[in-house]
Amino acid sequence: MLKQPIRTCAGCRAEFPQKQLLRIAVSAAGESAVDVAQTMQGRGAYICFRNECVEIAKKRHSLQRALKHSLPADIWIDINRAIADCPTENKNFTCELIKEARAADGLPEGELSADKRE
């Protein structure tokens, strides 16, 4: 079975297949962007397509911590916009539903994670 990459939401801290999450990336040059296509080079952090998770991440600065980089205030506008017009089926997912599915699979919840692409 092909194992798909698992990432942790910076809001609810539950783990999900990478493609179900919204990626926020910081390039080597220090430019941050909402990376809906998940193709941007650089460090990435992930968040559910849920306003609740965005609010938590905003409050706890957990995206910044995962990225080890500060984010401009208007990144939140882009994040909210990406969630509002989510081009994928991800919008139908909720953290609870996926959490339940994962619990059924006996998969453990993990620590906040980030990835690096170069």
Residues contributing to the site for Zn ion (CB under 5 A)? 9, 11-12, 48, 53, 95
Return the number of other C-beta atoms located less than 10 Å from residue 104's C-beta. 8
Cβ at position 30, least distance to Zn ion in Å:
26
Cβ distance to Zn ion smaller for residue 40 or 48? 48
Cβ distance to Zn ion smaller for residue 25 or 56? 56
Cβ at position 36, least distance to Zn ion in Å:
16
Cβ at position 110, least distance to Zn ion in Å:
13
Give per-residue burial for 73-99: e unless 16+ CB within 10 Å, then b.
eebbebbeebbeeeeeebeebebeebb
Q: Give the residue among 89, 114, 84 at the shortest CA–CA distance from 15.
A: 114
Cβ distance to Zn ion smaller for residue 41 or 65? 65
Cβ distance to Zn ion smaller for residue 15 or 26? 15
Cβ at position 9, least distance to Zn ion in Å:
3
Q: Which token pair is 85?
A: 């017009």
Return the number of other C-beta atoms located less than 10 Å from residue 32's C-beta. 23
